[in-house]
Amino acid sequence: MLRIYLQSRCTLICYMKDLFLVIQSCVPIMGNYDQMAAAVSELSGGKNVVLLDDIGMPSIYVRIPKGKNSELVSGLSDNVHYAFNVDSVEKTAFYYSKYQNIIVNERAYSLGHRDPANSINWDAARKACENKGAGFHLATMAEWAYIALWCRKNGTMPHGNNNYGKDSAYTHEHGEESSKDSGKTGRCFTGSGPVTWNHNHHGDGICDLNGNVWEWNAGMRLVDGEIQIIPYNNAAMGSKCDMSASSTLWKAIKADGSLVEPGTAGTLKWDWVSGKIQLTSGAITYKTDSGVGGQYKDMTLASGLTAPEIAKMLLLYPDEPNGDYAGDYHWFNPVGERLPVCGGNWYDGAVAGVFGLALDGPRSGAGWIVGFRSAFVDL
């Protein structure tokens, strides 16, 4: 077992070191971006790509090809997952930041071995992504949900920095320290952990989805307990999509999965019942301005309600109640507007992970445990 771990670790170190050296040598020299893109593609077997922003600066993204709901969860429809439907156009793929992002010149960048951006609110994170140009956007809940469900289906639930530089369950796994927290390791440099910290447990995967810093996502919110979304993955339209607090593009979800105007009777909500999050279409009973949470697998359904497919595909209700979601937690606050962060941070322990979702903070929240990452679609 030790030999396997060392071999995996060595593979990652070689891959990341080569990739980092490519970036270091190419980023300052405008004429080398074609060489950089070719090297990244070759090192990843074509699964990682270099995308240039509006000022010609590079970031590394992981190509996520189109998939169906039935490919993620047995028994669901053959509909293409919502993450691949943007402005009524079916996309063959979306591109997800390989690394938690940094900000340079008011733009978001996905680069390895950097201290991830933090202490940023939702609107600022969104703006840094959209400043990169058309197609770039703050990663959406539809995209995060697709990746999380893919990880579980493929048996590659990512480990990560959720225990002061280490993984709480796999304590031999650690990243490289980029910040301190009360004398202990806080954040780690992006992509500095072993391959098991990637979404597919390979060097070409998405890094650090479990822990390190929470990540803002777009396209979903709670308003006084009511679940509201930007339909499909239209939040990926970036600046072309109004996601302000007063936007009329936000829609609520009926019990049958159809989308309706917020405030319509019978829409899906989160409630807190008997110490667990409950999905309901009735009036909520928990109205305290305080966050509560529990294991995702332990969520319950209100009597007589059947969870629609959209709820399972957007991580609003588990596709397998009481199943194995690695102990990941959901949290929420039922008062006011609450926007999503995902993944957990460096001290959340076992409750952090790719199924970790908190809808308990306002868009103005900017704690040092919160960062973000950008994504891209062809528009």
* Helix or strand holding residue 26 (H, E): helix 2-26
Question: Percentage of the chain surpassing pLDDT 90?
Answer: 88
pTM over 0.95: no
Per-residue model confidence (pLDDT) at position 118: 97
Each domain of the chain, given as residue ranges in start order, spans: 215-369
- Residue 39 pLDDT level (bands cut at 50, 70, 90): confident
Evaluate if residue 70 carries a pLDDT over 50: yes
Question: Percentage of the chain surpassing pLDDT 70?
Answer: 92
Task: Provide the token pair at 311.
Answer: 């709820």
Torsion of CA 52, 341, 161, 20, to 10 degrees: 0
In terms of Cα–Cα distance, which of 129, 122, 123 is closest to 104? 129
CA dist., res. 145 & res. 124, Å (int): 22
Q: Residue 295 pairs with which residues in a beta bridge?
A: 329
Distances (CA, A) of 150 to 146, 183, 200, 262: 6, 36, 9, 30
Residue 365, Cβ density class (10 Å: 0-12 exposed, 13-18 middle, ≥19 buried): middle
Question: Do residues 246 and 223 make contact, with C-beta atoms less than 8 angstroms apart?
Answer: no
Letter for the amino acid at 352?
Answer: A
Per-residue model confidence (pLDDT) at position 41: 84
Evaluate if residue 297 carries a pLDDT over 70: yes
Per-residue model confidence (pLDDT) at position 32: 65
- 287: three-class secondary structure by DSSP: coil
Q: How far apart are the first and last CA of the chain?
A: 46
Rg (CA), the chain: 20
Question: Do residues 175 and 113 make contact, with C-beta atoms less than 8 angstroms apart?
Answer: no
Dump the DSSP string for 188-217. Answer: B-TT-S-GGGBTTSSTTS-B--SBSSEEE-
CA dist., res. 174 & res. 188, Å (int): 9
Evaluate if residue 24 carries a pLDDT over 60: no
The average confidence (pLDDT) of the chain is 92
Neighbours of 222 (CB within 10 A): 21
Question: Do residues 379 and 135 make contact, with C-beta atoms less than 8 angstroms apart?
Answer: yes
> What is the tens place of the pLDDT at every residue in 179-188?
999 999 999 9
Q: Residues near 331 by Cβ (< 8 Å), separated by ≥ 6?
A: 291, 292, 293, 357, 358, 359, 360
Per-residue model confidence (pLDDT) at position 28: 44
Per-residue model confidence (pLDDT) at position 36: 79
Average confidence (pLDDT) over 323-329: 97
> What is the tens place of the pLDDT at every residue in 85-102?
999 999 999 999 999 999
CA dist., res. 227 & res. 215, Å (int): 19
Task: Provide the token pair at 348.
Answer: 């959340």
Q: Residues near 370 by Cβ (< 8 Å), separated by ≥ 6?
A: 118, 119, 120, 213, 214, 215, 216, 341, 345, 361
Stretch among 37-46, 129-138, 153-162, 198-207 having the lowest mean pLDDT: 37-46
Question: What crossing angle do the helices spanning 33-43 and 2-26 adopt, rounded to 10°?
Answer: 170
